[in-house]
A = this chain, B = another copy of it.
Amino acid sequence: MRLATLRAAGRDGKLVKVSPCGTKYADASHIATTLQDAIERWDQVAAPLAALSEGTLPLKSADILAPLPRAWQWLDGSAFASHGDLMDSLLGNKVVRTGVPLMYQGMSDMFLAPTEDARFPSEELSIDFEGEFGVIVDEVPMGTSAADALGHIKLLVQINDWSLRKLALPEMKTGFGWVGAKPACSMAPFAVTPDELGSQWRNGRVCLDLEVCWNGKRFGNPNGEAMEFGFHELVAHAARTRRLVAGTIIGSGTVSNANFREIGSTCIAERRGIEVLDEGAARTEFMQFGDFVKMEAHTSEGAAPFGAIHQRVIQA
């Protein structure tokens, strides 16, 4: 089952169910008004949503918001070791790996729509995209184990975690994590139930290729399977000392594979890191106003279950 949120009165839009073709929808707001409403009552609404007949209304890209246009909590991991190791090299900031997942709390009061312009105050802040996968959980009690966390993962999403690299290292060095470096993220159109991916959801990982194109040119196409920790482990980590509110979104961090020299990257910072290692200096510049980024994950059969993020960067 694929769900989406369409523009409507209020900030949370209205819930719709997307047809298998991905171009039509059925209104689902009589079952749950919003996706937040649905995730809070998932055990009640999942079956009626699944039973809803195939939609016939044409889906217009401009009407599609992020599946959760805002969320009560966004916790982003950094679960791809090939990316983490490389970023350490680039930043000159030795991240201390402690055998537990890396995770930060990010801004959750706004997720940009998949085709919404991303506004930043200046190109000088080193504007970068980050292609990620994410999960949406129902309420997770404090102390939930990784094994039990798997059952709390109700929906999978695809995310662009916008980053302002110029601010990232100074903020990391404080130990307090990111505020200025991490403005609002974006989400791809469709939130999908794990069964939708069949065997390509396994071991708590979204085993799809995430294709990222920058100004129409492919920049990377790594697979989501390479996570050092699965999403269930990220959820359990997040829930160690807090219960997770229903609708919490947990991110994978930038998707990255060890063969990034061949397969490319899902953020510019990683490519710059490779250039520093291989050529002694970064030569790929960050984004400029007017640039576009497109992100679309593909199954091994070529389907795009989350739809595409396709955004332009503009001056705020």
- A residues near B (Cβ < 8 Å) are 70, 72-73, 75, 78, 93, 95-96, 98, 100, 102-110, 119-121, 125, 142-143, 164, 167, 170-184, 237-238, 240-242, 245, 248, 316
Contact = CB atoms under 8 A, between A and B. Distances in A.
Given A72-B109, A143-B316, 18 more contacts: A70-B245, A73-B108, A78-B176, A95-B175, A96-B174, A98-B170, A98-B174, A104-B179, A105-B105, A105-B177, A107-B242, A108-B108, A109-B245, A109-B248, A172-B175, A177-B178, A181-B241, A183-B241
A179 B238 contact: yes
Contacts of A177: 104-105, 175-178
Contacts of A245: 70, 109-110
A179 B93 contact: no
A214 to B, nearest CB: 21
A173 B178 CA distance: 13
A93 B242 contact: no
Contacts of A142: 119, 121, 316
Given A104-B176, A105-B105, A177-B175, A167 B70 contact: no
A171 B167 CA distance: 19
A32 to B, nearest CB: 16
A316 B120 CA distance: 42
Nearest 5 A/B pairs, CB to CB: A177-B177, A172-B175, A72-B109, A104-B176, A109-B245
Contact of A143 (B78, B95, B121, B172): B121
